[in-house]
Structure 1
Amino acid sequence: MEEKMKLAPDAFEPVSKKEALDDEKIVAPSRTFVQDAWRRLKQNKASYICLWILVVIGLIAFTSPITASHPNESHPNYANLPPKIPGVNINGLNGTSVVAGKRVDAYKQNNVPSKVHYTLGTDYLGRSLAQRILRGTLVSLLIGLFATLIDLIVGVGYGVVSAWKGGMTDIVLQRIIEVISSVPNIVIMVLLMLVLKGGMLPIILAIAFNGWTTMARLTRAQTLQLKSQEYVLAARTLGESTFKIALKHLLPNLSSVIIIQTMFTIPTAIFFEAFLSYIGIGIQAPTASLGTLISDGQKNFQFLPYQMWYPALMLSVIMIAFNILADGLRDAFDPRTARR
């Protein structure tokens, strides 16, 4: 027989009551899901910068009724003035322009008082381009936000009901989505413009008409996965109503999908509004939007390119910032999708 192993008498020593046991001590700080997502978002420098860019643009746009209170005030004598920033002697920002091959001071030629200057120049009616861009950004953001709000309310509710009920209800609701998705937005927009006679409302309704279908499909897919989870089954067994289960269990777990899809929907709605206004069936004059400003600037682009460049730059910054932020939020809320 093999000799049994014998332990030395001092192999085990009693632990003093004063000694602290750190075997199960958690070193990392305790964070909630939102705090952890915020930490990951801040680590994504590009998305974090884009977040603050959008915050600044939003603050400037929503305060424009105060800072840019007269966007439609015209001064025909000051028409087509180039940008001028006092104290800046850089071509393109010093109020000079090239006429017949020579650079001249456009403000002196038009007898503009020395105290009057336009940071981004004026349009063909002598209206301040800076004020119109600020007001146009506000209009575009409002249309995007309201259209997305309708998308959020209708799409999330529709998707949850479709997945939760299942069976024939789910089949019928999904066929309705397919029918609605097959109708072009342009057709809806033209019909609404004929009925509602222009303005922001027909554009919002046209964007929201079939924009919610993507949100509904994503919400339905996630709800189908969540409805079979143990905590949902436990809640149903304990007699919780469907509304309370959706409010307490489904919506919190759907929040990441909803937030990410919302951040992709807003720039899509803004771009669609700009496109409609650019081709002349969206926001109508004299109301400013980024689409109408780009359309007006394009007419004089050969001689006065700044009239188109500045609103186009604003639209591009908004679109790029929203898309980069949405990409960062996707990685922050679902680390499995993060690029390694």
Structure 2
Amino acid sequence: MINQSQPSDADFQLIPESVKANLDDEKISAPSLTFTQDAWRRLKKNKSAMVSMVILILFFILAFGSSFFETHNPNTQNPAATNLPAKIPGVPIPGLNGTIMQGGTRVDAYQQAGMKPGTFYLMGTDSFGRDLFSRVLYGTRISLTIALVATFFDLTIGIAYGIISGWKGGRIDNFMQRIIEIIMSIPNLVVIILLILVLKPGMVSIILAIAITSWTSMARLVRAETMQLKNQEFILAARSLGENPVKIATKHLLPNLSSVVIINTMFTIPSAIFFEALLSYIGIGISAPQASLGTLLNDGQKNFQFLSYQMWFPAIVLSILMICFNLFGDGLRDAFDPKSK
């Protein structure tokens, strides 16, 4: 038989106080973080994404706040100040100090045009004497407004359509997906041309074209994620408890779809900006005298050989916007979905 003797006090040994003090030396502890806090922590480590975010915030502030500090009206023509180069006070760099090369020598274009002392245009003027800086800010505002409208339709029609399609499944899902395929098979350019035949070139036509076509990609992504999530245990538990499908969508599905929605939104915005710039550049978007980045590029390329700055400034702004949105979107994708690396 096994001897089952009871332990006595002699079988135990007290731990010295010096050892007790060092018991927690190797203890690893970290504050508990929510999903959003953890994503923000990862995003802050991505320097390119953070720099892009700061630049985009500055663009939004300058574009939408330009009406409060604009130096000149973007549509006011001044025949006496046509084709003046950029002039930034206190900057002696050629090309930014208001001077041009004439007859092999550099002359002050503002003094030659008879401008009053203290007059300056940060990005110069166009062939009608309009301030290019104010027009670039105004054009950026137009482009960002159209991008925000595209985002709005993505977040309303796209998410709702995708959740309903993925949640219902079966014949309803099959029918709704055929509608999306029909819409996606029609090129955006064809849609905008058909709208121009009914309306006129401008923001209304572009916004309607985006409203008709932009939400389809978001709807398909949300539908795919919804079909995976609706079979998860927490969704089945909510359904078995008799939870309203609307509440299930808002309380359980949307929080778990947030990463897909945010990432896709950040790639929708630059696509909308480029779409508007392309339409305005070829003459079927924003019409004169309104300014957009596309119309400014169209006007600038006409004088590019002799007055290249008229095209360089809007091209640089458009390029920075596209690069920053894409870098910020990449950073959000890595932050919300670390497995995608």
* Fold shared, TM-score > 0.5 on shorter chain: yes
Cross-structure match for 1:295: 298
Cα displacement string for residues 74-108 of structure 1 (whole angstroms, at most 9, x for unaligned residues): 11110000011122221101111123433222112
Determine if the alignment matches structure 1 residue 272 to structure 2 residue 272. Answer: no
Cross-structure match for 2:45: 43
Determine if the alignment matches structure 1 residue 12 to structure 2 residue 12. Answer: yes
1:152, distance to aligned residue in structure 2 (A):
1.8
2:191 paired residue among 184, 188, 192: 188
Alignment of 1:114-193 (within 5 A): 114-193=117-196
Determine if the alignment matches structure 1 residue 310 to structure 2 residue 322. Answer: no
Quick one: distance in 1 between partners of 2:11 and 2:210?
A: 76
1:27 counterpart SS class: coil
1:98 counterpart SS class: strand
| Distance change in 2, residues 1:305/1:229 (3 Å) | same
Tell me, yes or no, if the aligned pair for 1:159 and 1:215 is still in contact at 8 Å.
yes
Cross-structure match for 1:281: 284
1:194, distance to aligned residue in structure 2 (A):
2.2
Alignment of 1:81-120 (within 5 A): 81-120=84-123
Cross-structure match for 1:80: 83
1:27 paired residue among 7, 16, 29: 29
Cα displacement string for residues 158-193 of structure 1 (whole angstroms, at most 9, x for unaligned residues): 110001000000111111111110001111101112
Quick one: distance in 2 between partners of 1:24 and 1:172?
A: 59
Length-normalised TM-score, structure 2: 0.93
Quick one: distance in 2 between partners of 1:14 and 1:239?
A: 57
Amino acid aligned to 1:89: P
Amino acid aligned to 2:154: D
| Distance change in 2, residues 1:112/1:164 (3 Å) | same
Determine if the alignment matches structure 1 residue 62 to structure 2 residue 64. Answer: yes
1:14, distance to aligned residue in structure 2 (A):
6.6
2:242 paired residue among 234, 239, 244: 239
| Distance change in 2, residues 1:66/1:43 (3 Å) | same
1:11, distance to aligned residue in structure 2 (A):
5.3
1:180 counterpart SS class: helix
Quick one: distance in 2 between partners of 1:65 and 1:275?
A: 25
| Structure 2: stretches of 5+ with no match in the other structure | none
Quick one: distance in 2 between partners of 1:53 and 1:259?
A: 19
1:337, distance to aligned residue in structure 2 (A):
1.4
Quick one: distance in 2 between partners of 1:55 and 1:22?
A: 45
Cα displacement string for residues 282-339 of structure 1 (whole angstroms, at most 9, x for unaligned residues): 000111111111110110000001000000000000000000000000010111113x
1:114, distance to aligned residue in structure 2 (A):
1.2
Cross-structure match for 1:335: 338
Quick one: distance in 1 between partners of 2:108 and 2:168?
A: 71
1:9, distance to aligned residue in structure 2 (A):
6.6
1:97 counterpart SS class: strand
1:26, distance to aligned residue in structure 2 (A):
6.6
1:162 counterpart SS class: helix
Length-normalised TM-score, structure 1: 0.93
Quick one: distance in 1 between partners of 2:211 and 2:103?
A: 50
Tell me, yes or no, if the aligned pair for 1:147 and 1:205 is still in contact at 8 Å.
no
| Structure 1: stretches of 5+ with no match in the other structure | none
Tell me, yes or no, if the aligned pair for 1:148 and 1:208 is still in contact at 8 Å.
no
Quick one: distance in 1 between partners of 2:334 and 2:77?
A: 47
2:119 counterpart SS class: coil
1:196, distance to aligned residue in structure 2 (A):
2.0
Quick one: distance in 1 between partners of 2:26 and 2:195?
A: 65
| Distance change in 2, residues 1:133/1:166 (3 Å) | same
Determine if the alignment matches structure 1 residue 229 to structure 2 residue 232. Answer: yes
How many residue pairs align between the two structures? 335
1:87 counterpart SS class: coil
Tell me, yes or no, if the aligned pair for 1:61 and 1:137 is still in contact at 8 Å.
yes
Cross-structure match for 2:323: 320
1:8, distance to aligned residue in structure 2 (A):
10
Among the aligned pairs, what percent are the same residue? 60
1:15, distance to aligned residue in structure 2 (A):
8.0
